């Protein structure tokens, strides 16, 4: 009996018990939530609940076939990167913010929306842009304040991590496709990147003003090597002109974050070099346990790179590979469950080469004071 009482006392010492109008809520003393912002690489189902069109949704088969066994709204056969990150952080599977079942936001929430970007004009009217995602976060703070009180909310938000992936769709809007030939629109690339970075900066500052202190970022990957762009370019090699814009973004992103570090007291961050981690996997997939690096598992046309997975996006006929685990990409743009696991683990605990100034695991452990 004495041993049982000791274990009970020990377990109670590791939690904070908060009295609310609805009863008691127990939270781990150093519990840190995870708040996720971004596009379809992070969307876990928010686009299921907005007035949009099928190309911006993944709520139909064969999406979800590997893990969930049903189409949850994730653009994958299984998990997305934030799902795996939550698991590594010992958090429950986060809910999409717009889920109608009154989800619990205590451990965090996912605001990401497939097709969205930092710019309001990116797929405007069909997605949840970054600015609106931040507005939703402010609403979550109000809900949490009512649930656990202002003092605990402020402490929780300072301990928590804000995980962002934005930009690819903004730059995808620069593509001009005609007769299976891809080119870029004639715009000032540096200036355009500046607009994207400016909007992202404003979003970060808004989250900071609400109490956020620890931020995790993915820079933009080699988007010119995605199956959808290669297929539109006659299935040829990577379209480097658009990947060059991604590299411009990544340079400006690093400079912007260093400025914020100097301006914002207590601002801490981790930047994963997604360009550097994805590029070698595409070039040499077998080295990383994949058989297909350039094409998708589900789609049509060259490399299965036409965005036809599920037959609901204008092209009814599509092919589905036998084993998604053989592939990096599940469809024309998005990762398989296996690939999401691979990249999430790099984001979580890879060294300084890919994560600067430290990885996401370390960011979770850092004090927010």
Give the residue numbers marked as catalytic: 40, 331, 334
Structure tokens at 309: 């997975």
CB 195 within 8 A of CB 244: no
Give me 249's structure tokens.
Answer: 């973004």
Max Cα–Cα distance, the chain, nearest Å: 78
Q: Report helix, strand or coil for 130.
A: helix
Whether residue 62 is preceded by a cis peptide bond, meaning omega within 30 degrees of 0, is yes
186-204 burial: b if 16+ Cβ within 10 Å, else e: eeebeebbeebbebbbebb
Q: Are the C-beta atoms of residues 166 and 118 closer than 8 Å to each other? A: yes
Q: Sign (positive/negative) of CA torsion 193, 197, 198, 200?
A: positive
| Pick from 216, 207, 211, 202: nearest CA to 268 | 216
Phi/psi of residue 172, nearest 5 degrees? -60, -25
Instruction: Please state the three-class secondary structure of 194-246 as a single string.
Output: HHHHHHHHHHHHHHHHCCCCEEEEECCCCHHHCHHHHHHCCCCCCCHHHHHHH
Instruction: Compute the half-sphere exposure of residue 35: CA atoms within 13 Å on the CB side of its CA.
Output: 28
3-state helix, strand, coil in the chain (%, to 5): 40, 15, 40
Q: Looking at the chain, which runs of residues are DSSP E strands?
A: 15-20, 23-28, 34-38, 108-110, 161-165, 175-178, 181-184, 214-218, 268-272, 292-296, 298-299, 319-320, 327-329, 355-356
User: Which structure tokens are listed for 236?
Assistant: 């040829």
């Amino acid at each position: 009996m004495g041993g049982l009482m000791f274990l009970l006392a020990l377990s109670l010492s590791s939690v904070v018990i908060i009295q609310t109008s609805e009863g008691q809520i127990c939270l781990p003393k150093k519990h840190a939530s995870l708040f996720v912002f971004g596009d379809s690489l992070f969307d876990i189902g928010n686009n299921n609940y907005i007035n949009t069109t099928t190309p911006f949704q993944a709520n139909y088969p064969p999406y979800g076939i590997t893990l969930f066994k049903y189409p949850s709204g994730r653009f994958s056969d299984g998990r997305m990167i934030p799902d795996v990150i939550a698991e590594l952080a010992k958090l429950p599977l986060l809910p999409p913010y717009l889920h109608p079942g009154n989800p619990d936001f205590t451990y965090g929430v996912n605001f990401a929306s497939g097709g969205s970007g930092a710019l309001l004009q990116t797929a405007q009217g069909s997605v949840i842009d970054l600015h609106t995602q931040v507005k939703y976060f402010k609403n979550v703070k109000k809900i949490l304040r009512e649930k656990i009180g202002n003092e605990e909310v402020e402490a929780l938000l300072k301990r928590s991590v804000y995980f962002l992936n934005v930009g690819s769709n903004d730059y995808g809007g620069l593509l001009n496709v005609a007769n299976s030939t891809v080119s870029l629109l004639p715009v000032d690339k540096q200036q355009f990147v500046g607009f994207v970075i400016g909007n992202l900066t404003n979003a970060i500052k808004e989250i900071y003003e609400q109490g956020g202190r620890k931020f995790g970022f993915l820079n933009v990957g080699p988007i010119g090597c995605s199956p959808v762009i290669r297929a539109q370019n006659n299935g040829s090699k990577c379209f480097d002109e658009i990947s060059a814009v991604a590299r411009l973004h990544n340079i400006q992103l690093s400079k912007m974050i260093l400025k914020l570090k100097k301006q914002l007291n207590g601002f801490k961050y981790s930047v994963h070099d997604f360009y550097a981690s994805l590029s070698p996997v595409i070039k040499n997939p077998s080295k990383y346990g994949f058989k297909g690096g350039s094409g998708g598992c589900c789609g049509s046309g060259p490399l299965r790179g036409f965005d036809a997975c599920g037959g609901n996006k204008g092209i009814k006929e599509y092919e589905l590979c036998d084993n998604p685990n053989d592939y990096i990409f599940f469809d024309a743009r998005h990762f398989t469950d296996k690939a999401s696991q691979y990249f999430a683990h790099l984001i979580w605990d890879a060294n300084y080469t890919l994560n600067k100034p430290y990885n996401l695991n370390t960011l979770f452990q850092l004090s927010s004071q």
